[in-house]
Amino acid sequence: MREPVLITGGAGFIGSNLVHRCAQEGIAVRVLDDFSSGREANLAGAAGRVEVIRGDLRDAATVAAAVRGVRTILHLAAIPSVTRSVEDPRATCAVNVDGTLHLLEAARAERVARVVVYSSSSIYGESPELPKREGMRAEPISPYGASKLAAEALASAWAKSYGMSIVSLRPFNVYGPRQDPTSEYAAVVPRFATALLRREAATIYGDGLQTRDFTFVEDMVEATFLAARWDGGAGEAFNVSGGSQTSLLELHALLERAVGVRCPPVHLPARTGDIRHSYADTTAARAFGYTPRVGLEAGLLRTVEWFRATSATPVL
């Protein structure tokens, strides 16, 4: 990875974990974030040289200023919620698609050495074929998934049209420390974990038999660094996952064990746009050295301990 590094969405969940990794390695890092979902608290304690620019991807001038002088870009900033995208598809596409276009054009003008674009496992949609492989036809079923596929396509086209060094990653259900459980659109792991820590019934949308391939954030950070430091793969996209298929009922049981409490979940109707089954083949990511290292049980234990240590509300 060539420094200085720009991390868009660097105050968010995965972005802030990347910032802390950069700080640990002494890498100069600049963060671009509008703080609509990111939090300043996520950046607390990041030693080293961290510059923060508060700005919006939809403002091309702000994006150009943030890109000026950087050598590597890790592009995570997005409106990340499937549910929110169904409610407000225009905002989702304005940030995830137009914002990515602004970033790529700024990177081209600045001759940035390497760009890593975060796509999503949502691009695969409801195809019954498992595991999901990069060569499969993309069939997103939500505006969010479609916006991520469009952003990925832009990244590939800019790599091929302008000779830029750009690679896309398709994360599968990342979880871990610094993930926000309070958001209306919070992911399932922090929602389950914090509910159980308070001895409250967690909510499962649907029957709970839907499956996911959960990825510990430390593995996601490692994959991102490996991809950023790799010279290959320009214009390509790669799955990144934890490498196991787990139902939401199984996840809930594992979190009950991690917390040390028994509290059955409640079920509500399934949500529009939610995918039934998701499981990744990560063979292609071995090209840049990625293999998952943190198993689900170990990752959940570390996540629960982080919530215990940081919660402002009394928990178990």
* Number of Cβ within a 10 Å radius of residue 155: 28
Q: Is 182 exposed, middle or buried (0-12, 13-18, 19+ CB in 10 A)?
A: exposed
Token pair belonging to 225: 């660094």
3-state SS class at 114: strand
Catalytic residue among 144, 175, 279, 290: 144
| Beta strands at 211-212 and 246-247: parallel, antiparallel or unpaired | antiparallel
The total of other beta-carbon atoms located within 10 Å of residue 107's CB is 27
Helix (H/G/I), strand (E/B), else coil: 284 = helix
Counting Cβ atoms within 10 Å, is residue 314 exposed (0-12), middle (13-18) or buried (19+)? exposed
Give Cβ neighbours of residue 78 (< 8 Å, ≥ 6 apart).
9, 95, 96, 99, 118, 147, 148, 151
144 is catalytic: yes
DSSP 57-88: TT-HHHHHHHHTT-SEEEE--S---HHHHHH-
Q: Contact, 207 vs 138, CB < 8 A?
A: no
Catalytic site positions: 144
